[in-house]
Amino acid sequence: MARYTCSFIVSVPPEHLQGLMIELLQDCEFDVQYYTADYIMAREIPGNISFSKLVTVEVLIDKSTATDTETRMSIVVKNEELPLQLDNHCRQVFEFVKQTIEQSRHWHLIESLAG
């Protein structure tokens, strides 16, 4: 199973981050399947790629350390594909989502840490 993670600190109140992330994931062609106040799960829309390569994105919003101006969140991008190649489909989607978060006009990125 391929799995890539990244943490971010963005300058947006936690109560606004969930809606902005849902919109961002939908803009990235993901179907948001489940969400709560501090968790979002979205799946790549089937059609262009085999079922085992479909990517799931999980977003965890850390409200325990959030302030009125900063919120920490983590993403986990994964699929059932074995990461036999460095540049696999899951990695490509991870880099795309990571770059989209980093360059979003909805917030100022304070910190990004890929794991």
The pLDDT profile of the chain, 115 residues, written as one tens digit per residue, is 899 999 999 999 888 999 999 999 999 999 999 999 899 999 999 888 888 899 999 999 999 988 888 999 999 999 998 777 878 999 999 999 999 999 999 999 999 988 7
* Adjacent-strand bridge partners of 56: 43, 78
Q: Which domain holds residue 43?
A: 2-114
Q: Is 3 helix (H, G, I), strand (E, B) or coil?
A: strand
| Residue 64: CATH number of its domain | 3.30.310.220
C-alpha torsion 6→10→98→78, nearest 10: 40
Q: Within its chain, how far is the Cα of 16 from the centroid?
A: 16
Q: What is the pTM of this model?
A: 0.91
The tally of domains found in the chain comes to: 1
Give the strand pairing for 39-44 and 56-62.
Answer: antiparallel
* Adjacent-strand bridge partners of 31: 43
pLDDT for res 73:
96
